[in-house]
Amino acid sequence: MTLPDPVASPYRVSMVCLGNICRSPMAEAVLAARLADAGLDDLVEVDSGGTGSWHVGHQADARARAVLARHGYDADGHRARQVDPDWFSTHDLVVAMDHDNARTLRRLAPDADAAARVVLLRSFDPASSADDQLVPDPYYGDERDFVDGLAIIERSVDGLVAALRVHLAVDG
């Protein structure tokens, strides 16, 4: 996948789900850690948001925080935010967890160039197919759903980091 050219420096990536308390803060924590491990954290900034507003200001879901902590990630400082059209002027890549959120983000985009910066996280997952681009929402599930979601996010983020390394022409 070809990534969009930067609108700012550092390259800014936002992970987006519905409420910004489960999938997107998990993806933000994983991407931040993987960027640091790859030595790209000074070139790429990551944050997250939700397309809905009902969790604004809340911490990440306790189950998400627990699963992340058990796997060596930290999301304790996370506070949910809602995406707005202004994000497209400051973010290079807006990464949706599913098709519904991608559609919402494209509607929020001020123009076609901004809408083209919306991608699905699973598009970077080597284990996904064109028919399987969803990071399932674990909110109504149990701990297993959060663990399974984290595994999908980790695979996908690894692919995203590899794409960023190539796009930013960083030797690795």
| Catalytic one of 17, 47, 125, 155 | 17
| Catalytic one of 47, 61, 92, 137 | 137
57 φ/ψ sector (left φ>0, alpha ψ -120 to 50, else beta): left
Instruction: Establish whether 22 is a catalytic residue.
Output: no
> Buried b / exposed e across 39-69, counting CB within 10 Å, b at 16+?
ebbebbbbbbbbbbeebeeebbbebbbebbe
- E strand intervals along 57-160: 93-96, 118-120
How many whole angstroms separate alpha carbon 35 and alpha carbon 29?
10
Q: What predicted TM-score, i.e. pTM, was given to this entire model?
A: 0.95
Q: In the structure encoding, which two tokens stand for residue 56, read together?
A: 């604004």
Following DSSP, what letter does each residue of 28-64 receive, concatenated? Answer: HHHHHHHHHHTT-TTTEEEEEEESS-TTTTPPPPHHH
How many whole angstroms separate alpha carbon 166 and alpha carbon 172?
9
Low-confidence ranges of the chain (pLDDT < 50): none
| Catalytic one of 12, 22, 23, 117 | 23
How many whole angstroms separate alpha carbon 78 and alpha carbon 57?
9
| Whole-number pLDDT of residue 158 | 98
Q: Which amino acid is at 166?
A: V
Instruction: Establish whether 17 is a catalytic residue.
Output: yes
| Whole-number pLDDT of residue 152 | 97
Q: pLDDT per residue over 29-77, tens digit each? A: 999 999 999 999 999 999 999 999 999 999 999 999 999 999 999 999 9
| Whole-number pLDDT of residue 171 | 64
Contact 152, 135 (CB under 8 A): yes
> Angle of helix 143-167 relative to helix 62-70, nearest 10 degrees?
60
| Whole-number pLDDT of residue 7 | 67
Q: In the structure encoding, which two tokens stand for residue 135, read together?
A: 């990071």
| Whole-number pLDDT of residue 61 | 97
| Whole-number pLDDT of residue 78 | 97
Instruction: Establish whether 81 is a catalytic residue.
Output: no
CB burial of residue 125 (10 Å; 0-12, 13-18, 19+): buried
Domains, in order of start, for the chain? 11-166 (3.40.50.2300)
User: How far is the CA of 147 from the CAs of 14, 67, 154, 169, in angstroms?
Assistant: 22, 6, 11, 33
